[in-house]
């Protein structure tokens, strides 16, 4: 009982920076969630470690802590994400499931080993003693390490789990784009590409489209690296475990007569060729791609070996999207900020000032 209560501390209870490695990790993750960050960057900078957040595609320095805790924090994150703590010379990646209550109480499934419903009920029971209303949020932390000249740098991607009822109207996309998109997603064949920069919400749009298509009782099969959210009635495949290659996966999927094939991201020539080939075979293919705008999609696909005529024949539409924040709240405003917010030099994004999705779409 006591151990469960101890490991779910409130993020807002820290008036000073935490002292232990696990508390620093929890503090940083909770702060990132409260600031709607999509990524956390941890870099050794002399005698300090810089903690930076990416919010709406803008990077800001959140805080720094002394480098004497760096190895402990780094190893704690690696243990949580099942990485080798002795390996600092080659890139690694892993993930851990996280449960957050009221954006303050952080619980790592990996630490307790209690993922069954009884353990969850027990944790929620303790929270009810202190909180009037409990809001539970599940997300994954995807940790990537990379060796640099100054030592390892760490990046944490926060992946918020998408509900099965999450729809196109929930992502904040302009209504006229939604109308055009809905016309495209009910086609029987062709390639629909979702383009944008890192953190622009491409994957969120992709999952919202899958939720839309599920209403028609179609066979949806995905190839993802990794699977970021698990959806019911969707056959999702993860290919980052080294057990199956992309080409093997796409050939196997085509034998299952899918109505819709979803490719998490077109990163290389083989993925681009497979997406186009499946579309030309009469399948409806949805994929995301890194490109700054619609014109950049054509340049990127041609650069990956797809000729212009083949691309034009297979494409049915391109969505290009960007996230931006119209207003950042600062200390100069009349808004009252908590002490824990004022002590950090970072824009605060409130519920009334969330990111706005700007999108354009090309019909084919």
Domain boundaries, the chain: 2-160, 168-324+357-363
pLDDT, position 74 = 96
- Tallying the residues shown for the chain, one arrives at 364
Q: How far apart are CA 251 and CA 258, in angstroms?
A: 12
Q: How far apart are CA 77 and CA 122, in angstroms?
A: 26
- Where are the alpha helices (H) located in the chain, listed in sequence order? 2-6, 21-34, 70-80, 109-112, 117-128, 175-185, 202-214, 246-254, 269-280, 294-303, 308-314, 339-342
DSSP state at residue 60: E
The CATH class for the domain spanning 2-160 reads: alpha beta
The CATH number given to 168-324+357-363 is 3.40.50.300
Buried b / exposed e across 310-331, counting CB within 10 Å, b at 16+?
Answer: bbeebbbbbbbbbbebeebbee
pLDDT, position 243 = 74
* Residue 242 zone, left/alpha/beta (φ > 0; ψ -120 to 50; rest): left
pLDDT, position 15 = 55
Q: Which of 232, 229, 234 is nearest to 253 (CA)?
A: 234
pLDDT, position 354 = 53
Q: Which of 279, 270, 223 is nearest to 247 (CA)?
A: 270
Q: What is the pTM of this model?
A: 0.74
pLDDT, position 346 = 33
* Residue 190 zone, left/alpha/beta (φ > 0; ψ -120 to 50; rest): left
Task: Check the CA dihedral 238-243-245-247 and report its sign.
Answer: negative
171-179: which pairs have CB atoms within 8 A and are 24 or more residues apart?
A: 171/201, 171/204, 171/205, 171/208, 171/357, 172/354, 172/355, 172/356, 172/357, 173/205, 173/321, 173/357, 173/359, 174/357, 174/358, 174/359, 177/319, 177/359, 177/360, 177/361
What is the token pair recorded at 274?
A: 């497979």
pLDDT, position 342 = 31
Per-residue pLDDT of the chain (364 residues), as tens digits, is 333 333 334 444 455 678 889 889 988 998 898 888 889 999 999 999 999 998 877 889 999 999 999 999 999 999 999 899 999 999 999 888 888 776 666 666 544 334 444 444 444 445 555 555 666 778 889 999 999 998 999 999 998 877 777 888 887 777 888 888 888 877 778 999 999 988 788 988 999 899 888 888 899 999 998 888 888 899 999 887 667 888 889 999 999 999 999 999 999 999 999 999 999 999 999 999 999 999 999 999 999 999 999 999 999 999 999 877 654 433 334 433 333 333 333 333 333 335 667 778 786 6
Cα–Cα distances (Å) from 188 to 227, 231, 242, in that order, read: 25, 22, 32
pLDDT, position 69 = 94
Mapped onto helix, strand or coil, the DSSP state of residue 64 is: strand
């Amino acid at each position: 009982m006591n151990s469960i209560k101890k490991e779910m501390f409130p993020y807002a209870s820290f008036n000073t920076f935490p002292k232990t490695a696990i508390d620093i990790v929890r503090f940083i993750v909770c702060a990132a969630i409260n600031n709607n960050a999509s990524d956390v960057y941890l870099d050794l900078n002399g005698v300090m470690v810089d903690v930076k957040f990416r919010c709406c595609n803008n990077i800001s320095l959140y805080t720094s802590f002394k480098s004497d805790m760096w190895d402990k924090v780094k190893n704690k994150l690696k243990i949580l994400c099942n990485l080798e703590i002795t390996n600092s010379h080659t890139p690694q990646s892993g993930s851990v499931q996280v449960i957050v209550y009221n954006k303050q109480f952080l619980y790592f499934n990996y630490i307790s080993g209690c993922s069954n419903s009884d353990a969850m009920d027990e944790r929620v029971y303790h929270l009810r003693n202190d909180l009037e209303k409990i809001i539970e949020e599940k997300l994954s932390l995807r940790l990537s390490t990379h060796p640099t000249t100054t030592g390892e740098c760490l990046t944490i991607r926060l992946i918020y789990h998408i509900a099965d009822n999450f729809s196109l109207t929930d992502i904040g996309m302009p209504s006229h784009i939604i109308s055009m998109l809905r016309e495209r997603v009910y086609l029987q064949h062709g390639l629909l590409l979702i383009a944008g920069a890192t953190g622009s919400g491409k994957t969120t749009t992709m999952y919202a489209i899958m939720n839309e298509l599920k209403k028609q009782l179609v066979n949806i099969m995905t190839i993802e690296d990794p699977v970021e959210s698990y959806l019911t009635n969707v056959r999702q495949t993860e290919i980052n475990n080294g057990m199956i290659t992309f080409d093997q996966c796409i050939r196997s999927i085509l034998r299952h007569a899918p109505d819709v094939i979803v490719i998490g991201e077109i990163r290389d020539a083989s993925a681009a060729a497979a997406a186009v080939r499946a579309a030309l075979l009469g399948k409806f293919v949805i994929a995301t791609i890194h490109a700054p705008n619609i014109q950049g999609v054509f340049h990127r696909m041609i650069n990956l070996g797809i000729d212009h005529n083949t691309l034009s024949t297979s494409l049915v539409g391109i969505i290009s999207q960007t996230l931006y924040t119209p207003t950042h709240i600062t200390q100069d405003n009349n808004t009252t900020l908590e002490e824990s917010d004022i002590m950090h030099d970072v824009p605060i994004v409130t519920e009334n000032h969330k990111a706005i999705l700007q999108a354009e779409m090309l019909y084919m």
